[in-house]
Amino acid sequence: MKLASGYRGSRSRSYRRANEQVLKSQFYAYRDRKNKKRDFRRLWIVRINAAVREHGLKYNQFMFALKKAGIVIDRKNLSNIAITDPVAFAHLVEVAKSAT
């Protein structure tokens, strides 16, 4: 009942309804902790793709070229660089282009 204290209606007062809702809420929380990782990775890829297309490449070409050039940087940091420091990102794109 303590876990259901913030719920509305019978879900916070009736033991059976509260228990059902707490179980369902815990299931959703577990599932969505996994989905959050997927969603952020998808967001980073979209951001990188948008930034790379301004320089005449596609996302998959860019990532392949980075690996070929020996640059190891994760998508989260690439996305942050693309947003906050376009000059540094342009330099990364140039390095990637020269590697292919």
- How many domains does the chain contain in total? 1
Buried b (16+ CB within 10 A) or exposed e, 18-48: beebbeeeeeeeeeeeeeeeeeeeeebbebb
The answer to the question of residue 23 being in a domain is no
How confident is the model at residue 65, as a pLDDT?
Answer: 95
**What 3-state class would DSSP assign to 1?**
coil
How much is the pLDDT for 100?
82
Identify the pLDDT of residue 55: 94
CA 35/CA 91 separation, integer angstroms: 33
pLDDT of residue 34: 97
In a domain, 2, yes or no: no
Note the pTM of the prediction, 2 decimals: 0.83
User: What tens-digit pLDDT sequence spans the chain (100 residues)?
Assistant: 999 999 999 999 999 999 999 999 999 999 999 999 999 999 999 999 999 999 999 999 999 999 999 999 999 999 999 999 999 999 999 999 999 8
Rounded CA gap, 86 and 100, in Å? 21
In contact, 57 and 97? CB cutoff 8 Å: yes
Q: What range defines the domain where residue 92 resides?
A: 34-99
Check which CATH number belongs to the domain holding 61 and give it.
Answer: 1.10.1900.20
Q: Looking at the domain assignment, is residue 86 inside a domain?
A: yes
